[in-house]
């Protein structure tokens, strides 16, 4: 319900995964979405206190093997079944804490935030996709981190308007968004492209029963990325860039054909 409410793109992508992976990935998405909502939307409450309580209950539920919070109960089941490293969860929650205070990031802070908010989430999902196989997990770890990084950086570009004007946040280091010029935008896009290319290499190495769903997410973000690249910096500062649902369905259909014919 949480995934379907917040993200049509991820909801569709998850539906293309093998059935055994769908509930675990829904559970991971629900967990990270809840944490993100605490720091982004609960403006009339003590966010730090709420996030700390959420963190305590997260690790308590994992230790106990149960929680009365249905989101955390689903998540702890996945963590315990697939033996997800608790340090990944700790790193993710640390990035959420950063959103409580930080409004601008230097290069080191930017890398730390990307690691916690995106790369480790990719690793949680990878743990599910390889069914806990440590050897495959270790081999695919750098690719999953790059793909998560690419997705997050595209989110940053897509959400420049909301993040900067709505919350006063600037994630990209050493970038003055009020004067975002084509050269700076191109530099950011080139960095994303490197992550994208490495991420695609990893998708091709995934087990077939998880490959297509991840490829669908990749294709959607690639389309979004190409649209952002085609726009002037002023445009992405004025609105949230979107892909219409009708175009998403066409993308997913063509992706299925390429996957079926082993054309990835």
Average pLDDT of each block of 10 consecutive residues along the chain (264 residues)? 84 85 96 94 93 98 97 98 97 95 85 96 96 94 96 88 71 76 90 95 91 87 91 82 70 62 54
- Cβ proximity of 86 and 92 under 8 Å: no
pLDDT for 83 equals: 96
pLDDT for 164 equals: 67
CB atoms near residue 254 (< 10 Å): 11
pLDDT for 82 equals: 96
- Cβ proximity of 65 and 80 under 8 Å: yes
3-state SS class at 170: strand
3-state secondary structure the chain: CHHHHHCHHHHHHHHCCCHHHHHHHHHHHHHHHHHHHHHHHCCCCCHHHHHHHHHHHHHHHHHHCCCCCHHHHHHHHHHHHHCCCHHHHHHHHHHHHHHHHCCECCHHHHHHHHHHHHHHHHHHHHHHHCCCCHHHHHHHHHHHHHHHHHHHHHHHHHCHHHHHHHHCCECCCCCCHHHCCHHHHHHHHHHHHHHHHHHHHHHHHCCHHHHHHHHHHHHHHHHHHHHHHCCCHHHHHHCCCCCCHHHHHHHHHHHHHHHHCCCC
pLDDT for 209 equals: 85
Task: Quickly tell me which residue has 């935008």 as its tokens.
Answer: 185
Q: Domain 2-260 has what CATH class?
A: mainly alpha
User: Which two three-digit tokens encode residue 127?
Assistant: 């743990």
Q: Residue 175: what are its φ and ψ, rounded to 5°?
A: -120, 125
If you count DSSP H runs as helices and E runs as strands, how many of each does the chain have, helices first? 15, 0
pLDDT for 89 equals: 98
pLDDT for 248 equals: 66
pLDDT for 255 equals: 65
pLDDT for 163 equals: 72
pLDDT for 12 equals: 76
Measured in whole angstroms, how far is the alpha carbon of residue 47 from the centre of its chain?
21
């Amino acid at each position: 319900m949480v995934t379907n409410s917040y993200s049509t793109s991820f909801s569709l992508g998850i539906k293309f995964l093998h059935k055994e992976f769908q509930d675990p990935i829904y559970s991971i998405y629900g967990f990270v979405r809840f944490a993100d909502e605490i720091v982004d939307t609960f403006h009339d409450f003590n966010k730090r206190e709420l996030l700390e309580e959420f963190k305590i209950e997260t690790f308590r539920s994992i230790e106990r093997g149960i929680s009365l919070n249905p989101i955390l109960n689903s998540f702890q089941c996945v963590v315990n079944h697939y033996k997800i490293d608790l340090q990944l969860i700790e790193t993710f929650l640390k990035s959420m804490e950063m959103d409580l205070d930080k409004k601008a990031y230097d290069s080191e802070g930017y890398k730390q935030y990307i690691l916690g908010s995106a790369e480790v989430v990719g690793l949680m999902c990878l743990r599910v996709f390889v069914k806990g196989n440590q050897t495959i997990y270790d081999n695919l770890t750098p690719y999953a981190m790059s793909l998560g990084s690419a997705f997050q950086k595209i989110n940053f570009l897509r959400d420049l308007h909301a993040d900067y004007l709505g919350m006063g946040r600037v994630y990209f280091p050493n970038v003055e968004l009020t004067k975002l010029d084509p050269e700076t935008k191109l530099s950011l896009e080139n960095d994303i492209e490197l992550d994208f290319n490495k991420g695609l290499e990893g998708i091709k190495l995934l087990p077939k029963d998880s490959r297509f769903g991840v490829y669908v997410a990749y294709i959607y973000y690639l389309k979004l990325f190409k649209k952002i690249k085609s726009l002037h910096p002023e445009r992405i500062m004025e609105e949230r860039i979107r892909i219409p649902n009708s175009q998403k369905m066409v993308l997913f259909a063509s992706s299925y054909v390429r996957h079926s014919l082993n054309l990835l």
